[in-house]
Amino acid sequence: MKRDFSTHDRMSVATDVVVLTTDNKPLTNNRKVAEKGLQVLLVKRDEEPYKGGWALPAGFVNYDEPLLECAKRKLREKVGLDDIYLEQLYSYGDDVNRDIRGRVISIGYIALAPKEKILLNSERASKEAEWFWIESSASQWESDKLSFLSVKDPSVRITSLAFDHRMIIADALNRIKNKIMYTDAGFHLVNELFTVKELQTVYELLLGREVQAFRRVLNDKIIETDHWTDGKAHRPARLFKKRECQ
């Protein structure tokens, strides 16, 4: 017997994408050496609810659309991003009032890429999308402690986001932090060729601590290449690449 779905309450399904990258923080009088920081991509909402507020790239899933394809589509439409690493995070819907428009179940995704590969080159992205520094350290990645500082305008600091997006970002950060030592997540935040120092910086930034004997810890995951950095600012350093799984 076919079940009559018309007797059930209707709800909507959406995807919310946490796009993370790293970049060098601006040099100051107190900081003469470049220091890495984490950035998250936010979009200014142009409609209610939360019109004018900041949110994650998000949107509703079409009836015949796979969840992952919806996340990819929203990144293309809203911020002009394509060909970026994505992994599913969690589902969000325990709070039945998380969206005042109606019952919405959201599937969170994490997107990771080095900054050089993320070009906000669409007209819409240039108007609505903006990078924000994640000010909180790894020990404070809780939804009520996260704060964000605009890369474009450092006078803009925000501590609240639309819907439950602040909590989703906290979940994404902690997911990557907890899995970085036993997965290849950190490699998605560096270029194909990288120095050991660049990779180590990413790991330590996400872990919130130093990694002792880093080269030895990651030795079975990286391979030396015949390439070197140009050495314009520092001594040339050998470039490595990720070892492919056998």
Domain ranges of the chain: 5-179, 191-242
Q: Which CATH number fits domain 191-242: 1.10.287.130, 1.10.4100.10, 3.30.450.20, 1.10.10.10?
A: 1.10.10.10
Q: Provide the 3-class DSSP secondary structure of residue 167.
A: helix
Which residues face 36 on adjacent strands?
Answer: 24
pTM: 0.91
pLDDT 10s per residue in the chain (246 long)? 566 666 667 889 999 999 999 999 887 665 556 789 999 999 999 899 999 999 999 999 999 999 999 999 999 888 888 889 999 999 999 988 888 888 899 999 999 999 988 877 656 565 788 999 999 888 889 988 899 999 999 999 999 999 999 999 999 999 999 999 999 999 999 999 999 999 999 999 999 999 999 999 999 999 999 999 986 667 889 999 999 875
E strand or H helix at 228: strand 222-228
Q: How far apart are the first and last CA of the chain?
A: 49
CA separation, residue 133 to residues 24, 49, 96, 169, 241 (Å): 10, 24, 30, 12, 27
Q: Which of 19, 46, 30 is nearest to 132 (CA)?
A: 19
Respond yes or no on whether the N-terminal peptide bond of residue 49 is cis (omega within 30° of 0).
Answer: yes
Specify whether domain 5-179 bears CATH 3.90.79.10. Answer: yes
* Gap between the Cα atoms of 136 and 139, Å rounded: 8
